[in-house]
């Protein structure tokens, strides 16, 4: 039972019951505001539009930063009452510090910090526009796919670093090889190893711009080998992310299934248990159809497990 305003704010921002519907409306409003900001920042890069609608862009920026700042402060204030934070045996100060340095909180801070700094420090407006475009990453908080992708990056961080290290080694080897084979006949394009890295990067990423190509037979053969090798190299990070993405989705479904089985210990789901499962569904980012299917599946397995399949008597 929620007794303080802080707990109510935490439930509202997290979209938990009894504020799930209101939290959904709030999320929709913030998503719409983020998209409007992204469109406005892109249009603001057109000089003619900036000169004509400068005051409207400025008004939208001030209002948006004000709303995002209030959201950030409310999340910082109420983060100690989140479900994950309550499980930690730490002071409220440590919980808030942990929240400040969390990925989602850093994204929220980046959405408001450039405009606030502009009031005290002179910035190049072009640089400021690019930084403000990072507001689109705030959608990560409301996107199930982005949350899964971030979890996949975190899970496979060491493997991805190893893959990029191998690709860096291959890049240097390809640059050195094409330099030795082509620098005599094309000194303007392969005159040094750093110059050769452009060709190696375009070839290893299978982009193949075509502005720099080997012309000697041995150079072309070497380029073909690097191209074939690059197909396998580029597939390594892709395969790691794809498998980790699927694994994160499976873990969330398994966690929900375990919660359903735990709630079915007496064979039925009462109102409070259904509310708990609904809150867990929202937290895990599962769709209502996935949750309903999981409940039906676990209920049937539970019912089947409570009866002997040989004699039919209840166990």
Residue 194 reports pLDDT greater than 60: yes
Burial of 4 (0-12, 13-18, 19+ CB in 10 A): exposed
Structure tokens given for 259: 């919660």
DSSP 158-220: HHHHHHHHHHHHHHHHHHHHHHHHHTTT-TTTSSSHHHHHHHHHHHHTT---SSS---SHHHH
CB 191 within 8 A of CB 183: yes
For the chain, the C-alpha Rg in angstroms (whole number) is 27
Which helix (H) or strand (E) element contains residue 281?
helix 271-284
178 vs 139 pLDDT, higher one: 178
Structure tokens given for 30: 């913030």
Using a pLDDT cut of 90, give the percent of the chain over it: 5
Q: Note the pLDDT tens digit of each residue in 39-93.
A: 888 888 888 888 898 899 889 988 998 999 999 999 999 888 776 665 566 777 8
**Is 0.85 surpassed by the pTM of this model?**
no
Q: Note the pLDDT tens digit of each residue in 234-284.
A: 777 878 888 887 888 888 888 888 888 887 776 677 777 777 777 777 667
170/199 Cα distance (integer angstroms)? 13
């Amino acid at each position: 039972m929620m007794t303080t305003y802080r707990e109510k704010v935490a439930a509202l921002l997290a979209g938990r019951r009894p504020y799930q519907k209101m939290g959904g409306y709030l999320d929709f409003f913030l998503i719409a505001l983020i998209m409007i900001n992204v469109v406005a920042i892109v249009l603001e890069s057109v000089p003619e539009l900036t000169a004509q609608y400068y005051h409207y862009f400025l008004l939208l920026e001030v209002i948006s930063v004000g709303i995002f700042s209030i959201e950030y402060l409310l999340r910082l204030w109420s983060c100690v009452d989140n479900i994950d934070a309550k499980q930690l045996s730490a002071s409220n100060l440590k919980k808030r510090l942990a929240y400040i340095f969390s990925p989602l909180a850093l994204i929220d801070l980046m959405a408001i910090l450039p405009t606030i700094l502009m009031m005290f420090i002179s910035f190049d407006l072009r640089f400021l526009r690019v930084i403000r475009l990072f507001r689109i990453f705030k959608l990560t908080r409301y996107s199930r796919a982005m949350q899964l992708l971030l979890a996949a990056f975190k899970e496979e961080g060491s493997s991805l670093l190893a893959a990029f290290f191998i690709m860096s080694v291959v890049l240097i080897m390809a640059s050195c090889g094409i330099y030795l084979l082509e620098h005599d006949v094309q000194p303007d394009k392969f005159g040094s190893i750093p110059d050769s890295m452009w060709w190696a990067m375009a070839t290893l990423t299978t982009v193949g711009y075509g502005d720099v190509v080997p012309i000697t037979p041995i150079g072309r053969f070497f380029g073909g080998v690097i191209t074939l090798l690059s197909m396998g190299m580029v597939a390594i990070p892709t395969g790691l992310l794809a498998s980790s993405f699927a694994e994160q989705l499976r873990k969330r479904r398994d966690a929900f299934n375990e919660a359903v089985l735990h709630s079915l210990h007496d064979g039925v789901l009462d109102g409070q248990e259904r509310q708990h499962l609904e809150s867990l569904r929202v937290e895990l980012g599962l769709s209502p159809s996935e949750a309903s299917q999981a409940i039906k599946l676990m209920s049937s397995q539970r019912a089947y497990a409570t009866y002997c399949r040989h004699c039919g008597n209840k166990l």
